[in-house]
A and B are shown apart, each in its own frame.
Chain A
């Protein structure tokens, strides 16, 4: 390539500002955190004054019931939320993949919940779940039922948090699967129609398998994001009642700011990071494999 040879330094000049910022404000903090997880450190100390305690923070975490419970809540939350959202999102996409008026308006309305601040989403749901002024209990009472303790009972609170997240993020999966559906080759679907496939057969044997690569990437993206959820739950329940909705990011926040155990919070962050790292790597490798497969198919086609 002629461009590269004209000026060897140019690419580095273009990369330098971003590289510097990333190195100082993202990469360095992460290394710092890995180091801090081996320290007994509270916020009033400089890091140099903190005592090196080896793996003690990690042992303490694994022996800590509260941490294990919050890890369990995090995994349960991610699993439940992603499963529901995948079914609803893909289902709606299959249902609404039609040539109808106003589809773009519909999509616009659907992305609203994702765009507004998580803090505000939490606020809206907390208001709706409110025992006396909230719309759910008001409606239930006007129909003559008892109110439901949406946010004050452990299992209801978990369900409430899941509902809010499903409301906020199902559109994400819907939009990605709709885009996938609309980029499917029309010839395959028409061929199946001519062969007499019913709507269900089309969905199960043609559409879903063809969408699968996109669906898997979507699933992984959503899974990664579901470990990042924090603000919505913070505003709605702040992890309570008890520890029933205390997901890991909330626990990190509390360990750092309330219990003032920075070392332990860093160890927790590390564990969260490892989970996310595995997920991201899975996605990366899957993407590479897909690309390789596409390239191979193309090569075969060209030979033919």
Chain B
């Protein structure tokens, strides 16, 4: 990379680039600085660049997990800590389940010719566009009255798996198509069964696809609000639900709420920096080469 030569551009072009970058990350930067401010600094009219950064808002939000007791807190409110645990559990488990059964389904759709394959593909594509808002009423009704799993983490995990599966199947198909069939045939000659071929030959080859799919899946489960709000009870609330619940019309504690927002934003930000290539592949896989 370092030996590659780059074209020289005129200064106006670089000015535009800088402006774009500022616009893209400005709001995130503002959230970060606000979360590091005391309320007096947030409310003050003076320049917002000079302030003493403090972790106090994070201490308030995470007081449950701290080994010491922050002195500014009279009483520790465990709501957010509990929600964070819920979000992590729900996000990780639903991602794992979605990926396991999603890759298997995608593999079957690509590799085996059987009746109804086209129908299945069309259905997966159609299911992809179902918005969470549409599922709100039926999921609430069925989960409460028929399955009896409302208010539990399991119930929320089940919706997220269903919500993510079509996308995961769709995106993994495009990766599995590229695996040379000769490799699988060779493994089969050596006596491997279909499950061995799948887990030992195909899976290792589509790692980039799995990375992309898992990021997208985790992101949906981690960020989703509407269905979690309808299904969760006090003990299974996720972070987005607690954030919205703590938003009142007046007198918002901006420092703390920005700290919780920042905590919710950190995992996706980390993914973005670690795996931006895979994310972009995932995003473009559908549109640029259908």
Contact = CB atoms under 8 A, between A and B. Distances in A.
A252 B132 CA distance: 11
A95 to B, nearest CB: 8
A92 B19 CA distance: 12
A253 B284 contact: no
A66 interface: no
A111 B279 contact: yes
B132 A29 contact: no
23 contacts: A14-B194, A30-B130, A41-B141, A43-B140, A106-B20, A109-B21, A112-B25, A116-B265, A117-B264, A117-B265, A117-B268, A118-B223, A135-B48, A167-B24, A171-B24, A180-B288, A217-B290, A227-B131, A228-B131, A231-B225, A234-B244, A272-B133, A273-B134
A25 B158 contact: yes
A7 B131 contact: no
Nearest to B158: A25
Interface stretch (A78-86, A192-200, A277-285): A277-285
B276 A133 contact: no
B135 A127 contact: no
A217 B223 CA distance: 25
Interface in A229-286: 230-231, 234-235, 248-250, 252-253, 256-257, 262, 265-266, 269, 272-273, 276-277, 279-280, 284
B30 to A, nearest CB: 6
Interface stretch (B70-78, B206-214, B253-261): B253-261
Interface string B129-162: 1111111111111100100000000000011011
Given A117-B240, A117-B265, A25 B159 contact: yes
A115 B268 contact: yes
Contacts of B163: 26
A6 B131 CA distance: 40
A179 B280 contact: yes
Contacts of B48: 135, 138
A115 B162 contact: no
Contacts of B52: none
A230 B264 contact: no
B169 interface: yes
Interface in B244-290: 244, 247, 254, 257-258, 261, 264-265, 268-269, 271-273, 276-277, 279-280, 283-284, 286-288, 290
Nearest to A183: B288
B122 A279 contact: no
A253 B226 contact: yes
Among A116, A118, A291, chain B packs the most CB atoms within 10 A around the CB of: A116
B104 A30 contact: no
Interface in B105-119: 105, 107-109, 111-114
A118 B243 CA distance: 12
Given A119-B223, A127-B258, A249-B133, 8 more contacts: A1-B113, A22-B127, A26-B162, A110-B24, A111-B272, A127-B34, A176-B284, A256-B230
B188 A115 contact: no
A278 to B, nearest CB: 10
A226 to B, nearest CB: 10
B43 interface: yes
Interface of B: 6-7, 9, 16-17, 20-21, 23-25, 27-28, 30-31, 34, 42-43, 45, 48, 100-102, 104-105, 107-109, 111-114, 120, 122, 125-142, 145, 158-159, 161-163, 165-166, 169, 184-185, 188, 194, 198, 219, 222-223, 225-226, 230, 240, 243-244, 247, 254, 257-258, 261, 264-265, 268-269, 271-273, 276-277, 279-280, 283-284, 286-288, 290
Among B108, B114, B131, B162, chain A packs the most CB atoms within 10 A around the CB of: B131
B28 A112 contact: yes
Nearest to A224: B129
Contact of B112 (A4, A117, A256): A4
B273 A108 contact: yes
A202 interface: no
Nearest to A168: B27
A11 B141 contact: no
Given A115-B279, A252-B136, A18 B113 contact: no
A89 B133 CA distance: 27
B142 A32 contact: yes
Contact of A21 (B21, B101, B137): B101
Interface string A120-152: 110111011000110100100000000000000
B269 A133 contact: no
A52 interface: no
